[in-house]
Each structure stands twice: as C-alpha cells, then as structure tokens.
Amino acid sequence: MSESSALKLPPGEGIIIDYHQLESVLARLEGLIETNGNVFKAKFPDQDSWVYNICDPEMAKHILVSNYKNYKKGVGIKQINVLLGRGIIVSEGDLWKRQRKMMQPLFSNKLLSHQLPLMISCADKLLASWDDDIKAGKPINMTESMSQTALDFILHALFSEDLDRIIEETGENPFLMVTDDSARDLLFARRFRQLTHLVNDMMQRRRAENRQPYDLLTMVMNATEKRSGEAMPEKLQIDEILTLIIAGHETTASVLNWTWYLLAQHTDIQQQVWAESQQHVGAEGMPGMEEIAQLTLTRQVLDESMRLYPPVWVLTRQALADDHFNGIDIPAGTDILIPPYLMHRNPAYWPEPEKFDPQRFSPDNIKKQHVGAYLPFAIGPRRCIGDSMAIQEMAVHIGRIIQKVHFELLPDQTIELEPLVNLRPKKDIFLQAIYR
Ligand code: HEM
C-alpha cells in the first residue's frame, strides 16, 4: 500500500501499537482514542501498512455489515488458523458461506429445546461439586469452575453418550486439556490438534455401529449442502467440531465468570435476579423453554456483563480492496481493529460507562441503542453463530445456581484484566458461596 498524499487518512501519524504488550494495550488504546478520536491510524512495530482503530459505531457497521465482503479476518487469525484448520471462524469466501449454511441447523430452536435438560444438569452438577467447599466456608475458584462447566456443556452437546463412554473406558476426559492453557501458543495448538484423532475415531465408531444420537456431532456428520446434496468433507467436519469446542466454551465461561463477579459486587441486583428465578425456575423440577424465556432481568444482567467485559475484546479485519467511508480512505491491505471493549465504554453511547446497570438493556432502552455500539457477538453475516445457545446456557446456569446459593466478594481481592485471545482476569476470581 502506498501512502499517497491524495488519500484522506484518519489522524494518528507516528503512533505505534505493540500488541505484544498485552499488559498495557487496553489502557494505551483508551488514551489514544481520547487524543485522536474514535477513528485513528497507527502502525504495528514490524509493519509498514496502516492499522485503523475504529470505535465509531457507524464505521464498524460499514465494515462488519454493509461492506463486509470487502474484509477478511485480520490480525491474530493465523494463530487461530493453526488451531482450527478451516473451521468457519477462520474460513473465507465461498468455503465460509457454504460451511456457515451447513452449520446453521445446529443452532435451531428445536436443538435449543433439546439441550435445555443438559444445561440444567450441568448447572446442578457444578453446584453439587461445590458442596463440600460451601459447607466448609471455603471460597470457590469461579474462573476454574466456569471453565469446567462450560466445557462440560459443549462436550456433552457435541458427543453426548460417547463422551461418557470415553471417560469410562480411559478414566479421564481427554478434552480437559483445553482448559489447561490460556496462552494458545503453538505448543497448545499441537496438543489440541491431536484431538483430531479422537474425534475421527468417534465418527468412525458411530458409522460402524450405525448409531446416530441426537447431538451436534451427528448433525455435523449428516450436514449436506442443500443445492448439491453433497455431504461436508470429513476433514472439515473435524475442523468444525474442534471450532465448536473452542468457540463454544471459552467465551461462555468468561461471561459467566465476570457475571458472578459483578453480581457479588452488586448484591441488590443479585437479590433481584434470585427473586426472578424463584418465580420462574424451580430449584428441583425441570423448567421448560417458556419459563427460561421469562428470565428477562437475568438476560439484561448478561448483556450488561458482556458490555463491560466482552470476551472477544477486539475484532480484527483486513481490507481486500480500497474502500471509503465518511470521508476516510481505507486502502487495500489496511488492518482494522474494532475493540468492543472500548466501544462499549465510549461515553458518547454509554453514559457513565463504568457503571454496572442492567437497565441499559431494558426492552425500551435497547431500542435507543446504536446497533454498532454493542458488539459482544459482532454484527453482520459473520456474527456469532452460537449466540442464542450461549445466552440460553448462561441464563439457565445463573437461574439454576442462584436458587441455592448467593455469592459474596472476598476482602482484598484485586482483579486485573488480561486481554489474551479472550478477555480474562489476570488471576482467577474466587468468591464466597453461601447456601440460602
Ligand atoms: C457468550 C458467549 C459467546 C461470545 C461472546 C461469542 C462471541 C463471538 C464473536 C464476537 C464472534 C465473531 C468474531 C469475528 O467476527 O471476528 C463469534 C463467532 C463465532 N462463534 Fe461465538 N461467542 C460465544 C459463544 C459461542 C458458542 C456457544 C458457539 C458454538 C457452540 C460459538 C461459535 C462461534 C462460531 C462458529 C463463530 C464463527 C462464525 C462465522 O464466522 O461465521 N460462539 N463469536
């Protein structure tokens, strides 16, 4: 890309952003927005082309929705590529379009309804696992627990009976390694890709035994392209399964972790969420989809939690061809960073942005929001395919657990952020759980 004087570029001459300085990157970007505005240009230390930082909702909408075809996934995608092969998070163009269509039926309302008992039992299992600690007054490691329960759900949603069989046969859960390491480096990728064999074995065994349990693996194995009637190639089936494991557990775990932390900080709201679940979700019986749909405050709390702590704290894209928006040129090859974390804290769109206020997401207030100013699941054709599943899973988890326990903060616990692939607390969050 050449830096022509005719181009109209946003401000930001001489700014270098080092994304390896993760410790300070959020504070630095926040400072740069204050001095340069919602759209500014910068460079990475090792690169000559521009990177645009965008906290303007209209421009985000242009890139993610109106002109999305001109943008491919950007910075960091190579790292995820090693992990997820050609799964739909990383694939582009026709391959992505074809795969996305084939994967869509996995996220239907019918499936959500089928998964409800599993969501409830995962929450109940977690609660039971805390029993000794709660009785002994020992704080609960929420970060670890949320990771375990989110993985428990997605693995059972994918593999149902086969997962239990593997655990029974081998005495361990081989997928647990995905919660081991948040660094997501090459070493992790290599270990993770070894799960390919395991998934492949499961698929072969199901075929040999002509077994088709009603779960996500069966749906991926049976996915066909509507027009041609062709099945999804086996290698892609495995990539999509691995994609669902990673995409489907880390993000949900992160939101739940932050949500419990926020509820422990705001005991009045925790009490209201408890009252709502008392009204609609039984502690022992099995609530149905209608009852879960009544958990409106719980959903507002989750929305507000994702505003303050969006797990995908930055969306990255790269311009394929020259583009232009609102007087700004975007030359081909420009890297784009759209950080939901900062967009969600922009006082122009979110008054008192640091305040935890679930009423921002009341049905009336939602109508007033700018569509590009709230991006926890991104927007446009590449928005999260699992958003409804995640929301339902998280609402069930909160609604079920809050029936039995309330949470309190531990004294002297300071929480610092660590923006890795997902936004995490630097140290695990511990909370005191007390039976009601
Ligand atoms: C609270 C939980 C979740 C959050 C915050 C979240 C967030 C996101 C975001 C921001 C994207 C877009 C990334 C981009 O455009 O660069 C995305 C994509 C995706 N998510 Fe989620 N996600 C969540 C849960 C899930 C679950 C439960 C699943 C599946 C089981 C899932 C599967 C995917 C997939 C497959 C994509 C790629 C979609 C495509 O490119 O077509 N996510 N997610």
Average pLDDT, rounded, for the chain: 91
Angle formed at CA 159 by CA 155 and CA 165, multiple of 5 degrees: 100
- Average pLDDT on 272-294 reads 89
* pLDDT for 386: 97
16: left (phi over 0), alpha (psi -120 to 50) or beta: beta
Q: Ligand 1, atom 41: nearest CA belongs to which residue?
A: 382
Ligand 1 atom index nearest CA of 249 = 27
Select from 251, 384, 421 the residue to mutate for testing ligand 1; criterion: most ligand atoms less than 8 Å from CB.
Answer: 384
Question: Reduced to 3 states, what is the DSSP secondary structure of residue 224?
Answer: strand
Angle formed at CA 346 by CA 342 and CA 348, multiple of 5 degrees: 160
* 372 in contact with ligand 1, CB cutoff 6 A: no
- Average pLDDT on 427-433 reads 95
179 CA distance to ligand 1 middle (Å): 18
State the Cα–Cα distance between residues 374 and 57, nearest whole angstrom. 8
Cβ within 8 Å of residue 226, ≥6 positions away: 101
* pLDDT for 312: 92
Sequence-ordered alpha helix ranges (H) in 228-320: 234-265, 267-280, 289-293, 296-308
- Average pLDDT on 309-337 reads 95
**Phi, psi at 163, each rounded to 5°:** -65, -45
pLDDT digits (tens, 9 = 90+) for 375-401: 999 999 999 999 999 999 999 999 999
State the Cα–Cα distance between residues 376 and 314, nearest whole angstrom. 10
* pLDDT for 22: 59
Q: What is the DSSP letter of 227?
A: T
- 399: its two tokens: 């609604």
* pLDDT for 134: 98
* pLDDT for 160: 95
Is it the case that residue 416 has pLDDT exceeding 50? yes
pTM of the full structure: 0.95
Handedness of CA 184, 190, 196, 198 (dihedral sign): negative
Q: What is the DSSP string of 4-22?
A: -TTS-PPS-TT-B--TT-H
State the Cα–Cα distance between residues 359 and 379, nearest whole angstrom. 22
* pLDDT for 285: 76
Q: Looking at per-residue confidence, does 86 or 52 come out higher?
A: 52
Is it the case that residue 152 has pLDDT exceeding 90? yes
Ligand 1 atom index nearest CA of 89 = 37
* 123 in contact with ligand 1, CB cutoff 6 A: no
pLDDT-derived band at 7, boundaries 50, 70, 90: confident
pLDDT digits (tens, 9 = 90+) for 354-372: 999 999 999 999 999 998 9
State the Cα–Cα distance between residues 209 and 186, nearest whole angstrom. 36
Q: How many residues does the chain have?
A: 436
pLDDT-derived band at 194, boundaries 50, 70, 90: confident
Is it the case that residue 3 has pLDDT exceeding 80? no
Torsion of CA 221, 222, 226, 228, to 10 degrees: 70
pLDDT digits (tens, 9 = 90+) for 96-119: 999 999 999 999 999 999 999 999
**Phi, psi at 382, each rounded to 5°:** -100, 20
CA 430 to mean position of chain CA atoms = 21
Topology classification of domain 22-435: Cytochrome p450 (1.10.630)
413 CA distance to ligand 1 middle (Å): 30
Is it the case that residue 233 has pLDDT exceeding 90? yes
* 390 in contact with ligand 1, CB cutoff 6 A: yes
pLDDT-derived band at 163, boundaries 50, 70, 90: very high
- 435: its two tokens: 């039976």
* 119 in contact with ligand 1, CB cutoff 6 A: no
* pLDDT for 1: 46
349-355's contacts with Cβ under 8 Å and 24+ in sequence apart are 349/57, 349/373, 350/307
194 CA distance to ligand 1 middle (Å): 23
Q: Flag the least confident range among 15-24, 172-181, 390-399.
A: 15-24
* pLDDT for 201: 92
Q: Looking at per-residue confidence, does 21 or 74 come out higher?
A: 74
